[in-house]
Amino acid sequence: MRIHVSQNQKEVLKDLLIAGGVLAFVAIAPVAVPILKPLLKTKSPKRKTINYRRLLASLERQGFIQIEQDTITLTQHGSGFTQILTAVDTYVPPNKWDNKWRIVCFDMPEDYAQARRFLRDNLTKIGFFHLQKSVYVYPYNCLDIVQRVVDHFAIGRFVSFGTLESLENSSQLKLHFDL
């Protein structure tokens, strides 16, 4: 399964989720073209042109959205993926540490390289500490987000995670997390 999604695609998916999963487009007519042009091509901060038609076609090929006549609908895959992105982006750790460590370990075959990269990137984005090659540690409870990723990509047989009461040599981690 191909799950490489560019930053622009992630933003479009989030916008579709915010819009309730369905975004109605005006049927293409000669009169509508001047109105739609600014929406279909815009400049990003890096001055690259974003072609939304190509971006939407790519999202449809990957199964994130379904385009029918004048509507775009998030698929179940697209909705789940977008909810994970939103959960990671909006995650705020609690103010107080409960003296427990959350650990995530994984060993995925090469066929799951993109799922592995997605999991690893999102663990890092949340703030997990990379303890060993495929072992990540975090002091706050966010394993529900990890569970969403595992369930969505059906990688449960390759991922183990849980809570530890104590962790040997945790002084380095306490310094890292300012605990």
Residues 64 and 115 in one domain: no
More confident residue, 48 or 121: 121
Residues 80 and 127 in one domain: no
- The structure's pTM equals 0.68
pLDDT tens figures, 70-85: 777 778 888 888 888 8
Residues 14 and 80 in one domain: yes
Residues 13 and 80 in one domain: yes
Domain that holds residue 73: 7-85
Residues 74 and 123 in one domain: no
Q: In total, how many domains does the chain have? A: 2
Last residue of a domain, one of 85, 119, 153: 85
Q: Is the per-residue pLDDT at 117 higher than 60?
A: yes
| Residue 31 CA: distances (Å) to CA of 15, 26, 36, 40, 106 | 26, 11, 10, 15, 54
Helix, strand and coil content of the chain, in percent to the nearest 5, comes to: 45, 20, 35
Last residue of a domain, one of 62, 85, 108: 85
- Looking at this protein, which amino acid is placed at residue 17? L
Bridge partner residues of 132 (DSSP): 135
Distance CA 81, CA 78 (A): 5
Least confident range of 43-52, 126-135, 150-159, 162-171? 43-52
pLDDT tens figures, 84-109: 888 888 888 888 899 999 999 999 99
The answer to the question of residue 112 being in a domain is yes
- By the 8 A CB rule, do 74 and 68 touch? no
The answer to the question of residue 2 being in a domain is no
The DSSP call for residue 80 is H
Question: Long-range contacts: 51-59, Cβ < 8 Å, 24+?
Answer: 52/12, 55/6, 55/8, 55/9, 55/12, 56/12, 58/9, 59/9, 59/12, 59/13
Q: Where are the alpha helices (DSSP H) in 29-140?
A: 33-40, 52-61, 76-90, 113-126
The answer to the question of residue 1 being in a domain is no
Residues 109 and 70 in one domain: no
Report the pLDDT value the prediction gives residue 104, as an integer from 0 to 100: 94
The DSSP call for residue 125 is H
The answer to the question of residue 44 being in a domain is yes
- Give me the CATH number covering residue 111: 3.30.70.240
Residue 102 backbone dihedrals phi, psi, to 5 degrees? -105, 130
Residue (of 104, 102, 105, 117) closest to 153 by Cα position = 117
Residues 126 and 167 in one domain: yes
Residues 6+ positions from 43 with CB-CB distance below 8 Å: 49, 50
Last residue of a domain, one of 67, 85, 103: 85
66 C-beta neighbours (distance < 10 Å), count: 13
Instruction: Please give the structure tokens belonging to residue 123.
Output: 């663990």
pLDDT tens figures, 3-61: 556 666 666 655 555 444 333 333 333 444 444 445 444 555 554 555 667 777 778 88
